[in-house]
Amino acid sequence: MTRTVRTGTAGHARYTFRLRVSSTARTALLAEWNRCRWVWNECVARSKKAYADREECGPVRLSSMLTEARSRTPWLREGASVPQQQTIRDFAKSRAKALKDIKARLPQHRRAGMPKHRRKRDASPTMEYTRRGFRLKDGRLHLTGGIVLTVAWSRELPADPSSARVYQDSLGHWYCSFVVPAQAEPLPATGRVLGIDWGVKETATTTSDAHDLPHAEHGKRAAQRLARYQRQMARRRLPKGKAQSKGYRKAQTQATKLHKKVARQRQDTGRKWAKRVVRDHDAIAVEDFRPKFLAKTTMARKAADAAIAATKAALVEMSRKHGRDVHLVHPAHTTTDCADCGSRTKHALPLSERTYTCTACGISRPRDKKSARVMLVRAGLNPAGDEGVRPPGALLPDAA
């Protein structure tokens, strides 16, 4: 089975920027977050009671309850209504998705869990503002309620944002994420196609040697430093219920910083590779690989370090942005099928066998390279296109 991500699809893009927050603005943001957290917890409690009483508890009813609560609670009324209403909408979406999964009788590990209470010490601040709740003036972000934040602009927004989400990460840094309409930037046709097979030894093996993505091993290089910080945390940890020492918090901050650095390195590597692939090819056939099952194998650590899911998501997003077609190919039997004659081997191939030899036509290819060619065949693309030769009668993307 093959799914195709069509080009030119309308959508939205998200741009995230660091915020410079003064002590006054930080106090106001945390006070706003306390109100939004109270609204969320109240929605959870009302939802549980309505579920037990077999009553309806939709966003309209919750919004009316919020209006009533604001009228009789001065503390709640001091805050802006926009983030509080958005908190109710976020809760409604989360609850609807959980109920849909339950109705579809999905397995427990695949269900979206029901919304739970947000505790002050565990939940990180996050607030959503619609267009009437914020504005940009002189390069600064003005939120309803008189909160003014300085944005560290690393690039210009391509259009006026429709919403903004202000949040704080685990290191205490504040960010703002703007949602704007996606801007298509079509690239000229190249006449080339590419097949991609995901792996562990190499993150991506393609039908073009110049576009293979080797395993960057960002996590492996940082493992020694991370282990040192984790040992420091283990030595300095106090019993549960006691405030942790300054040394413990310092080691915890260092470990968190290292985790974030590795995550950004993986994201940067995947996006740069995706941009190069999309720039050089008109159509891409990708293995629709879900690496979740690898978490239960001996290759779990290396597979997680490869960041296959994030790299695939970056490739799909980059292809949509630049007007390329991406064909997501089901991974079943891609290892045992022959890309030339289509026959399937009758025996299982061990991982140690890195060369595939077809028992029907006798052709021999490197195992991963052969699988990448299978992706092209299953997507209906001519493997000759990976060498820059357009198949006879094929149309350019603009003429299709």
Q: What confidence tens digit (pLDDT) does each residue in 137-194 have? A: 999 999 999 999 999 999 999 999 999 999 999 999 999 999 999 888 889 999 899 9
The DSSP result for 63-99, as a single string, is: HHHHHHHHHH-HHHHTS-HHHHHHHHHHHHHHHHHHH
Which parts of 123-244 fold into alpha helices (H)? 218-236
Closest-CA residue to 283 (of 363, 371, 386): 386
Instruction: Check residue 284 and give its pLDDT.
Output: 93
Collapsing DSSP states into helix, strand and coil, what is residue 195?
strand
Q: Which helix (H) or strand (E) holds 167?
A: strand 163-168
398 or 268: whose pLDDT is higher? 268
pTM > 0.85: no
More confident residue, 57 or 211: 211
The pLDDT value recorded for residue 391 is 43
Strands 325-329 and 283-287: parallel
Quick one: CA torsion of 73, 75, 77, 78, rounded to 10 degrees? 160
Closest Cα to residue 196, out of 354, 46, 308, 336? 308
Mean pLDDT in residue range 79-86: 95
C-alpha count within 13 angstroms, C-beta hemisphere, residue 279: 7
What residues have CB less than 8 Å from 370, skipping those under 6 apart? Answer: 338, 339, 356
pLDDT at 105: 82
* Average pLDDT for 41-69: 85
Whether residue 389 is predicted with pLDDT greater than 70 in this model: the reply is no
Query: What pLDDT score was predicted for residue 385?
Result: 57
Check whether 218 has a pLDDT greater than 90: yes
The set of residues, in sequence order, having a beta carbon less than 8 Å from that of 148 and lying 6+ positions away, is: 25, 140, 141, 142
Whole-angstrom Cα Rg for the chain: 26
CB 202 within 8 A of CB 30: no
284 burial class (0-12, 13-18, 19+ CB within 10 angstroms)? buried
Crossing angle of helices 59-72/81-103, nearest 10°? 150
Beta bridge partners of 135: 142
Residue closest to 337 by CA, chosen among 313, 359, 318, 309: 359
Number of C-beta neighbours around residue 245 at 10 A: 12
* SS3 at position 377: helix
Which of 316, 328, 329, 327 has the alpha carbon at shortest distance from 278? 316
Q: Are 167 and 174 in contact (CB under 8 A)?
A: yes
Is residue 10 over pLDDT 70? no
Share of the chain above pLDDT 70, in %: 91
Query: Do the bridges between strand 174-181 and strand 12-20 make them parallel or antiparallel, or are there none, so unpaired?
Result: antiparallel
Tokens of 253: 């901050």
Q: What does the pLDDT average to over 249-266?
A: 95
* Model confidence band, residue 132 (pLDDT cutoffs 50, 70, 90): very high
> First CA to last CA across the chain, in angstroms?
22
Which pLDDT band, with edges at 50, 70 and 90, does 400 fall under? very low
pLDDT > 90 in the chain, percent: 55
Residue 5 pLDDT > 70, yes or no?
A: no
Rounded mean pLDDT of the chain? 87
* pLDDT digit string, tens, across residues 290-322: 766 676 777 788 888 889 989 999 999 999 889
From residue 370, alpha-carbon distances to 58, 79, 208 in Å are 52, 60, 12
Q: Using one digit for the tens of pLDDT, what is the confidence trace for 335-344?
A: 878 877 877 8
366/259: higher pLDDT? 259
Q: Which residues of 313-322 are buried (b: 16+ CB within 10 A; e: fewer)?
A: ebbbbbbbbb
1 confidence band (pLDDT: 50, 70, 90): low
Query: Is 289 within 8 Å of 312 (Cβ atoms)?
Result: yes
Cα–Cα distances in angstroms (integers) from residue 170 to residues 221, 253, 256, 310, 399, in the given order: 23, 9, 8, 20, 49
Single-letter amino acid, residue 44: V
* Predicted pLDDT of residue 25: 96
